[in-house]
A = this chain, B = another copy of it.
Amino acid sequence: MPPPFPSRAEIEADQLEQLRALVTELFPANAFYTRKLEDCGVTFDVASLADFSRRFPFTTKAELVADQAAHPPFGSNLTYPLAAYTRFHQTSGTTGAPLRWLDTPESWAWLRELWTRVFTAAGVTAADRVCFAFSFGPFLGFWMAFESAQQLGCLCLPTGGMSSAARLRLLLDNGVTTLCCTPTYALRLGEVAREEGLDLGRSRVRRILVAGEPGGSLPAVRARIESLWPDARVRDHHGMTEVGPVTYECPAQPGVLHVMESGHYAEVIAPATGQPVSPGETGELVLTPLGRVASPVLRYRTGDLVRPAAVRAACVCGTHELALAGGILGRTDDMVIVRGVNVHPAAVEEILRAAGGVAEYQVTVTTRGPLAELALAIEPAADAGDATALARKIGGALETALGLRIPVHTVAAGSLPRFELKARRWHRAGK
């Protein structure tokens, strides 16, 4: 029998214990946090989780970037001597300068254990054959997933540097049961299978574990992926380089992400005030990974917008961990205000995928002073039919959902860029 789910009180007692051990370890070993906290007169004791939230300052990405610029190349947020670190990663730099991130074997092992929870929640066992369709570069991406799957005893098939067609053949020929990739790339593989005449109906893929983009929790994106991959179910996950793996998808409620509170102390705040939001309200996720002592962040402003469940009772799946309805709803830094309407890229994606018929798209944001305007280029799917009608339909769907008229035009098949890592579909033009 599996162990019972810990209660809220047990979760929080464990978090407090881990947090105290973490904070103690940082002083005076970690130059960045020693300086930062001394500068604002914070003492290193933690009376309670509430005390921590009240007294300790946030950490922002901008601070870490500035620290790495001042102390190149790795910055001063290192708790141990440089020689203790074995893993190098860096962020993709989608929101400014890339951050370098180092881990020791201990910090890395701690992160890997969290990823193992993502796999087990998705039902992955040692009997599974797991294909990793990503490039194994310096982005943290699925590196940890790869090692977790090894640890779980899965047969792991790395496919760095391969073409999409070659990946599909490898996946079909070797009876892959689980695919790990971004939501965009799961769509792309489905599209290439059609182009190549490969029948995904004969694939043994039963689950597609997606991360790196909000798509995995958007119902229309899930539905589109699942229509291309018969018998496969999408399982979402989210994490980031600075904090590691954060959530897994609720086994009972598709599109709900649970924060792994065994590893993270989580807060949800109003971005403008920094004050906690009420349950059921949307806010920014703030995380303190509790066991990544070598490369810590305390109260990290993730920039991810989430909506915690209104009632913090046990979930139907049994866990008492924080539930985020709809997954990651967007980012504080990518919202565009168009004629007074807050437009989130994830909302546009959801509207497009629900309308159907779109293989790929690109959004151009033109800003003149404080005013922003959007325009959409749409690449019709092979089975989309009349292109003009499709553009009209998408325009109508956007108007219905957002109350905005947004110009939509179609472009030739294959003319828009495809993505293996995070998709970059939003472009800013002019000033």
Given contacts A153-B83, A174-B100, contact A161 B161 (CB under 8 A): yes
> Distance (Å) between the CB of A80 and the closest chain B CB?
12
Residue A201 at the chain B interface, CB threshold 8 Å: no
Residue A52 at the chain B interface, CB threshold 8 Å: no
**Number of copies of chain A assembled together:** 2
Would A86 and B155 count as touching, CB distance under 8 A?
A: yes
Query: Please, how many angstroms separate the alpha-carbon atoms of A379 and B295 in the complex?
Result: 47
Would B174 and A159 count as touching, CB distance under 8 A?
A: no
Give the residue name and chain of the B residue nearest to A72 (CB). B173
Would A105 and B170 count as touching, CB distance under 8 A?
A: no
Give the residue name and chain of the B residue nearest to A108 (CB). B150
> Distance (Å) between the CB of A157 and the closest chain B CB?
4
Would A158 and B174 count as touching, CB distance under 8 A?
A: no
Residue A175 at the chain B interface, CB threshold 8 Å: yes
List which A103-147 residues lie within 8 A (CB) of chain B: 105, 126-127, 129, 135-138, 143
Residue A62 at the chain B interface, CB threshold 8 Å: no
Residue A162 at the chain B interface, CB threshold 8 Å: yes
Contact check: which of B73, B138, B150, B420 meets A158 at CB < 8 Å?
Answer: B138
Query: Please, how many angstroms separate the alpha-carbon atoms of A154 and B105 in the complex?
Result: 10
Residue A85 at the chain B interface, CB threshold 8 Å: yes
Residue A88 at the chain B interface, CB threshold 8 Å: yes
B residues less than 8 Å from A175 (CB atoms): 73
Query: Please, how many angstroms separate the alpha-carbon atoms of A420 and B136 in the complex?
Result: 15
Would B155 and A143 count as touching, CB distance under 8 A?
A: no
List which A355-409 residues lie within 8 A (CB) of chain B: none
B residues less than 8 Å from A100 (CB atoms): 174
Query: Please, how many angstroms separate the alpha-carbon atoms of A420 and B158 in the complex?
Result: 17
Would A88 and B155 count as touching, CB distance under 8 A?
A: yes
B residues less than 8 Å from A173 (CB atoms): 72-73
Query: Please, how many angstroms separate the alpha-carbon atoms of A115 and B98 in the complex?
Result: 32
Residue A160 at the chain B interface, CB threshold 8 Å: yes
Query: Please, how many angstroms separate the alpha-carbon atoms of A149 and B87 in the complex?
Result: 10
B residues less than 8 Å from A277 (CB atoms): none
> Distance (Å) between the CB of A72 and the closest chain B CB?
8
Would B83 and A156 count as touching, CB distance under 8 A?
A: no
B residues less than 8 Å from A155 (CB atoms): 82, 85-88, 102
Q: Looking at A86, A126, A143, which has the most chain B CB atoms within 10 Å of its CB?
A: A86
Would A138 and B162 count as touching, CB distance under 8 A?
A: yes
Would A162 and B174 count as touching, CB distance under 8 A?
A: no
B residues less than 8 Å from A73 (CB atoms): 173-175
Query: Please, how many angstroms separate the alpha-carbon atoms of A259 and B23 in the complex?
Result: 50
Query: Please, how many angstroms separate the alpha-carbon atoms of A161 and B161 in the complex?
Result: 6
Given contacts A155-B102, A158-B143, A161-B161, contact A174 B135 (CB under 8 A): no
Contact check: which of B72, B85, B137, B159 meets A159 at CB < 8 Å?
Answer: B137
The contact sample of 12 A-B pairs, CB cut-off 8 A, is: A82-B155, A84-B153, A86-B156, A87-B150, A135-B135, A136-B160, A136-B161, A137-B159, A138-B157, A138-B158, A143-B158, A161-B420
Sample of 7 more A-B contacts, CB < 8 Å, known A73-B173, A74-B174, A138-B157: A72-B173, A84-B153, A86-B153, A88-B157, A105-B150, A135-B160, A161-B161
- Ranked 8 nearest A-B pairs via Cβ: A135-B161, A136-B136, A136-B160, A160-B160, A137-B161, A88-B157, A137-B160, A135-B160
